[in-house]
């Protein structure tokens, strides 16, 4: 796309940037100067209907505070059913919903229908990232290293040797996930996972270090290491204050740190994501990296990892929220001429 600047100068503008140039003012020099915010009134969707509702309420409240600090007019909406109900018109939507009707593409599709730009991945990429059965196929096809796995239905026998991790394919926040080291633990772990889904994902447990890399647009943030009790990053370790220790940037050899960032970006692109995300890894003692999953809507609580990595990169919380909302768009790439209507 080309934009005329003055009588003779033409600027080539990348399609992904064109809406950052719309809210501008012409100065005497004939150049365009970008003003602070393209979107002025932002809706924040929080809560939701999934098992991660309480975490989402905390994430959404934090995002709303951050956006207000960044100068936005914010409308908070507590989502209590599988429907899109905004109390008043907004220019864009920040999705802070986790799990079902948040990260599975449903709310994204409703926003597409309303032509309301929103943060994060589109409907198809959201679904692919949340459903680990789909993610695993994409990882394998793209050559992204990931632990060996199998999908089981009730009555099917496990073939992977212990230790393994048992998880619901579409869950998050480590809800319903168990690590099985001994055969005596298998039945209880399987039953817990089946409480959340009709199939379960069984994955080879990779001993080593727990790492995560946040993504902001096309930028990989510094790798963060999670040091959890007994090496297991469960719900208590993830959300309880003092439940785990985070080190960012992670103490890694420069080559390993670069591989983490490159692999995170490759995963993000393979799934077709945009805006923001976070890729979780295991790093073995031998230096092998394995991708576990990608979160399209990472947490924004006081113990969340993406804001911590952003802070290590010099991006404060309010600035982080503002940068993410300024990347809001539709899956077509249109930032939404009908926004707010």
Six token digits for residue 289: 């990296």
CB 148 within 8 A of CB 204: yes
In terms of domains, do 266 and 308 share one? yes
List, for residues 213-251, the tens digit of each pLDDT value: 999 999 999 999 999 876 555 555 455 555 679 999 999
Residue 3 has pLDDT above 90, yes or no: no
- From the list 293, 308, 326, 331, the catalytic residue is 293
Q: What is the pLDDT of residue 270?
A: 98
Give the separation between CA 164 and CA 161, rounded to whole angstroms: 7
Tell me the pLDDT band of 253, cut-offs 50, 70 and 90.
Answer: very high
Give the separation between CA 58 and CA 304, rounded to whole angstroms: 11
Compute and round to an integer the Cα radius of gyration of the chain.
21
- From the list 280, 308, 326, 331, the catalytic residue is 280
- Domain of 197, CATH number, reads 3.30.1490.20
Domain membership flag for residue 227: yes
Distance between first and last Cα of the chain: 26
In terms of domains, do 139 and 157 share one? no
- From the list 47, 48, 51, 52, the catalytic residue is 52
Out of 48-52, 185-189, 329-333, the most confident range is 185-189
In terms of domains, do 136 and 236 share one? yes
User: pTM of the full predicted structure?
Assistant: 0.84
Give the separation between CA 211 and CA 231, rounded to whole angstroms: 12
- From the list 278, 329, 331, 336, the catalytic residue is 278
Domain membership flag for residue 336: no
In terms of domains, do 180 and 224 share one? no
In terms of domains, do 279 and 138 share one? yes
Domain membership flag for residue 266: yes
In terms of domains, do 85 and 232 share one? no
In terms of domains, do 17 and 88 share one? no
112 is catalytic: no
14 is catalytic: no
Give the separation between CA 20 and CA 325, rounded to whole angstroms: 12
Q: What is the pLDDT of residue 174?
A: 66
In terms of domains, do 318 and 210 share one? yes
In terms of domains, do 100 and 198 share one? no
- From the list 214, 239, 274, 282, the catalytic residue is 239
Residue 10 has pLDDT above 70, yes or no: no
- Mean pLDDT over 277-306 rounds to 95
| Segments in the chain forming alpha helices (H) | 53-69, 106-114, 123-130, 132-142, 186-194, 235-239, 254-270, 305-312, 317-326
Give the separation between CA 1 and CA 169, rounded to whole angstroms: 41
Ordered DSSP codes for 43-61: EEEEE-SSTTHHHHHHHHH
In terms of domains, do 66 and 164 share one? no
In terms of domains, do 177 and 311 share one? no
List, for residues 276-285, the tens digit of each pLDDT value: 999 999 999 9
Write out the residue range of the structural domain in which residue 58 sits: 41-119
In terms of domains, do 47 and 14 share one? no
- Domain of 282, CATH number, reads 3.30.470.20
Domain count of the fold of the chain: 4
* pLDDT, averaged across the chain: 86
Q: What is the pLDDT of residue 7?
A: 32
Domain membership flag for residue 287: yes
18 is catalytic: no
């Amino acid at each position: 796309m080309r934009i005329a600047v003055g009588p003779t100068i033409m600027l080539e503008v990348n399609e992904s940037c064109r809406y950052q140039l719309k809210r501008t003012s012409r100065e005497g020099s004939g150049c365009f100067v970008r003003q602070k915010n393209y979107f002025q009134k932002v809706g924040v969707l929080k809560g939701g209907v999934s098992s991660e509702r309480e975490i989402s309420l905390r994430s959404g409240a934090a995002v709303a505070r951050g956006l207000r600090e960044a100068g936005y007019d914010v409308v908070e909406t507590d989502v209590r059913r599988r429907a899109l109900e905004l109390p008043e018109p907004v220019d864009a939507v920040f999705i802070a919903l986790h799990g079902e009707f948040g990260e599975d593409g449903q709310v994204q599709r409703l926003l597409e229908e309303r032509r309301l730009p929103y943060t994060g991945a589109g409907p198809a990429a959201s679904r692919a990232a949340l459903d680990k059965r789909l993610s695993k196929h994409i990882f394998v096809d793209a050559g992204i290293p990931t632990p060996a796995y199998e999908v089981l239905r009730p009555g099917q026998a496990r073939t992977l040797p212990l230790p393994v991790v048992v998880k619901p394919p579409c869950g998050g926040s480590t809800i319903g996930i168990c690590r099985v080291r001994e055969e005596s633990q298998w039945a209880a772990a399987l039953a817990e996972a089946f409480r959340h889904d009709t199939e379960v994902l069984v994955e080879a447990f990779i001993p080593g270090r727990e790492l995560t890399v946040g993504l902001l647009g096309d930028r990989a943030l510094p790798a963060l290491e999670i040091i959890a009790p007994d090496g297991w990053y469960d719900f208590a370790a993830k959300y309880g204050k003092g439940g785990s220790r985070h080190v960012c940037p992670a103490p890694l050899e420069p080559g390993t740190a670069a591989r983490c960032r490159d692999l995170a970006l490759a995963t993000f692109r393979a799934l077709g994501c945009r805006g923001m995300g976070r890729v979780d890894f295991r790093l073995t003692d031998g230096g092998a990296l394995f991708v576990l999953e990608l979160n399209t809507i990472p947490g924004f609580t006081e113990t969340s990892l993406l804001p911590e990595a952003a802070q290590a990169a010099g991006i404060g919380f309010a600035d982080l929220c503002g940068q993410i909302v300024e990347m809001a768009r539709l899956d077509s790439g249109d930032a939404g001429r009908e926004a707010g209507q």
